[in-house]
Amino acid sequence: MRFYDQQHDFYCGVDLHTRRMYLCILDREGNKRLHRNMRAKPLDFLNAIKGFRDDLVVGAECMFTWYWLADLCLDENIKFVLGHALYMKAIHGGKKKDDKIDSEKIARLMRGGTFPMSYVYPREMRATRDLLRRRTFLMRRRSELLAHVQMVNHQYNLDPFEKQLQYACNRDVLDRFEQDSARQNVEADLQMIGHYDQLLKQLESNLLRQAKLHDRQACFLLQTMPGVGNLLSLVLLYEMHTIDRFATVGDFLSYARLVTPKHTSDGKVTGHSGAKIGNPHLKWAFSEAVLMMMRHSEDAQHFVARKEKKHGKARAMTMLARKIARAVYQMLKRKEAFDAVKFFAN
């Protein structure tokens, strides 16, 4: 957890919503200089802070509307800090909660050096990152439809499909369903899957053509790993932005949700937590990298099989995901391509 501990003359806490925002500005001594509810508009915000801009820091909680405020502060040369939502909830919880109280607590956390920081992602890359995330969402909806077709087939105790339905040429399966309602049920799924196929193909083509690679070397290095192709390398690159964000490999693994933090007391483990802290999209990318590596590398298959005997299959695949994440960190830090001999040496 990183805290913002720089000193300023004024601290502006913003409780931001889609149409309204509550501002609280404190001076260096902790006195409230402004506490106001206003429209979430750039001009209104600039007018409110007009008399405090000489040495001002603006802080807001990380939620889906922070983009415009961060960009406005960047354009106006105002220091902006983004707060980690889950850490902030743990720090400034109380009996009563409303926008007025939250804005003041954000300002006081910054003034006291206990404001937990989140990463302000560069605006020139946000749109592409969000489109990659949307593609993943649509892929999951397509997978749900494919799974539903399989489920209907099992409901009527029919023979398994001979070929994989993920390919359009293998979807001529309606004749096996005798009842009209069951046939229409499956047909609706197959038509939606066809629409998803066309949409995803277009999205992927546009992403590969329009993605602005801020670090082409990093993208090339990622693709030297077995099974990591164009799209998966883009997901990894856009979710981490730059490996220099992470001081240690442990920080990177934690951000990718590949560690299980323990709670200990008196030398005993009392529980685990932190499952929702980190980047779920990066965790998915490494899970996908595990499957792709096992598909393209016999060494990866042998590694999982060896670990599975002692730890079980799920734990073995998690261990491979952590191993891949460590390799990615070292590859990008050292600017070196993937070395299978070193990777599977242990």
Q: Does the pLDDT value for residue 154 go beyond 90?
A: yes
At 239-276, the pLDDT tens digits run 999 999 999 999 999 999 998 777 777 777 776 666 77
Beta strands 115-118 and 79-83 are antiparallel
Give me the pLDDT at residue 76, please.
95
Q: What is the largest CA-CA distance in the chain?
A: 78
Residue spans per domain, the chain: 3-118, 125-212, 217-343
Yes or no: say if 84 and 116 are a contact pair by the CB < 8 Å rule.
yes
Give me the pLDDT at residue 96, please.
74
Give me the pLDDT at residue 92, please.
62
At 271-318, the pLDDT tens digits run 666 677 889 999 999 999 999 999 999 999 999 999 999 999 999 999
Give me the pLDDT at residue 74, please.
95
The SS3 of residue 213 is coil
At 171-216, the pLDDT tens digits run 999 999 999 999 999 999 999 999 999 999 999 998 888 777 677 8
Mean pLDDT of the residues in the chain: 91
- 134-155 in b/e form (b: 16+ CB < 10 A) is ebbeeeeebeebbebbeeebee
At 38-78, the pLDDT tens digits run 999 999 999 999 999 999 999 999 988 999 999 999 999 99
**Domain covering 3-118 in this structure, CATH number:** 3.30.420.10
Residue 136 or residue 259, greater confidence: 136
Give me the pLDDT at residue 91, please.
61
Give me the pLDDT at residue 64, please.
86
Cα separation, 210 vs 222, in Å, equals 19
Give me the pLDDT at residue 261, please.
76
Q: What sign results for the dihedral spanned by CA atoms 122, 123, 127, 130?
A: positive
Q: By mean pLDDT, which of 19-23, 134-138, 274-278, 302-306 is the weakest?
A: 274-278
Q: Which candidate, 121, 114, 119, places its Cα nearest to that of 88?
A: 114
